[in-house]
């Protein structure tokens, strides 16, 4: 047996029978009705489902922004339910890179400074911060634009800056919620090309989308209906 085979790789995401109930009694909403899902390192998963099917609820739990009512969640081998708020904030900062539909960049602040921000929170020193932020911008094809502020960039370029910001901490997982929802076709293709490249270089990506064309880029497609996984299909 080779050394590589001896290294047991734990899944990046491991959720077991996760339920999420909002409200109580008469107004109870069962947003997730027992979701079990494993995502291995290097996978690229698209999650689809109609409005109200539980996509955002699942995303918030995966991103440690919310906790399940019941069930278990391990992120990169760590049982998230045992962590306090401060530890959860650390997990979000170190292990997860978020990309949102609305890029959420800081206005009147250069692309480089935007990308450096998560590293500043993580306490990385200025020189190292700059070096890593430049590398992340180069990875999304925006090395030439580091001094541009968000309003000097197209929507697609802004989203690529946001992707660079998500990557700069070398997270175990990139979580993207409708990342191309506000983009035209060309910009959508540019951003998806970046995700494709990241995944080829080994990044784990979980992406929520309404668009079948976008989901086609993923290696695995999961469909949610009414808080349950009804389809889990390997595409590539
Ligand atoms: P999706 O993102 O697929 O549209 P959501 O996860 O946002 O679905 O919502 C799933 C269900 O949970 C819906 O019925 C929604 O109304 C309900 N829901 C979501 N968030 C809350 C909340 N904070 N309080 C009460 N109900 C909620
Ligand atoms: Mg939603």
Question: What are the pLDDT tens digits along the chain (236 aa)?
Answer: 455 555 556 789 999 999 999 999 999 999 999 999 999 999 999 999 999 999 999 999 999 999 999 999 999 889 998 899 999 999 998 899 999 999 999 999 999 999 999 999 889 999 999 999 999 999 999 999 999 999 999 999 999 999 999 999 999 899 999 999 999 999 999 999 999 999 999 999 999 998 999 999 999 999 999 999 999 999 99
Distance (Å, whole) CA 65 – CA 52 = 18
User: Which ligand 1 atom is at minimum distance from the Cα of 20?
Assistant: 12
Strands 13-22 and 70-75: antiparallel
| Ligand 2 center–CA 52 separation, angstroms | 7
| CA angle (44 as vertex; 74, 50 as ends), nearest 5 | 85
| Ligand 2 center–CA 116 separation, angstroms | 28
Could you tell which of 18, 21, 22 is best to mutate to test the pocket of ligand 1, judged by most ligand atoms within 8 Å of the CB? Answer: 22
Provide the pLDDT for residue 148. 98
Provide the pLDDT for residue 7. 55
pTM for this prediction: 0.91
**Which residue puts its alpha carbon closest to atom 16 of ligand 1?**
52
Return the residue matching tokens 């109609």: 50
| Ligand 1 center–CA 74 separation, angstroms | 23
22 lines ligand 1 (CB under 6 A): yes
| Ligand 1 center–CA 228 separation, angstroms | 13
Q: DSSP character for 9?
A: P
51 lines ligand 1 (CB under 6 A): yes
Return the residue matching tokens 């997990």: 91
| Ligand 2 center–CA 58 separation, angstroms | 9
50 lines ligand 1 (CB under 6 A): no
User: Which ligand 1 atom is at minimum distance from the Cα of 53?
Assistant: 3
Contact (Cβ atoms closer than 8 angstroms) between residue 224 and residue 37: no
Provide the pLDDT for residue 144. 97
Give the environment of ion ligand 2: residues with CB less than 5 A: 55-56
Distance (Å, whole) CA 140 – CA 121 = 22
Could you tell which of 25, 30, 31, 207 is best to mutate to test the pocket of ligand 1, judged by most ligand atoms within 8 Å of the CB? Answer: 31
Could you tell which of 30, 51, 57, 61 is best to mutate to test the pocket of ligand 1, judged by most ligand atoms within 8 Å of the CB? Answer: 57
Distance (Å, whole) CA 154 – CA 136 = 18
Helix ranges (DSSP H) in 23-174: 55-62, 85-95, 111-121, 126-139, 155-167
Provide the pLDDT for residue 35. 98
Provide the pLDDT for residue 188. 95
101 lines ligand 1 (CB under 6 A): no
Provide the pLDDT for residue 124. 95
């Amino acid at each position: 047996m080779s050394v590589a085979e001896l290294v047991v790789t734990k899944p990046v995401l491991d959720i077991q029978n996760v339920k999420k109930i909002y409200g109580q009694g008469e107004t109870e909403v069962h947003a997730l009705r027992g979701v079990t899902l494993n995502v291995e390192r290097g996978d690229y998963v698209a999650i689809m489902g109609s409005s109200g099917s539980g996509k955002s609820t699942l995303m918030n739990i995966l991103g440690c922004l919310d906790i399940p009512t019941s069930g278990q969640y391990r992120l990169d081998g760590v049982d998230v339910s045992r962590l306090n708020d401060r530890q959860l904030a650390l997990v979000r900062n170190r292990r997860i890179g978020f990309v949102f539909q609305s890029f959420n960049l800081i206005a009147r602040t250069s692309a480089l400074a935007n990308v450096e921000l998560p590293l500043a929170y993580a306490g990385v020193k200025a020189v190292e911060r700059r070096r890593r932020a430049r590398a992340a911008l180069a990875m999304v094809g925006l090395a030439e634009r580091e001094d541009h502020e968000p309003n000097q960039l197209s929507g697609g370029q802004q989203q690529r800056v946001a992707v660079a910001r998500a990557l700069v901490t070398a997270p175990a997982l990139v979580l993207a919620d409708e990342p191309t929802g506000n983009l035209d076709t060309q910009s959508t293709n540019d951003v998806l090309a970046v995700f494709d490249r990241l995944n080829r270089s080994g990044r784990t990506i979980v992406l929520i989308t309404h668009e079948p064309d976008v989901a086609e880029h993923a290696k695995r497609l999961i469909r949610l209906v009414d808080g349950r996984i009804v389809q889990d299909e390997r595409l590539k």
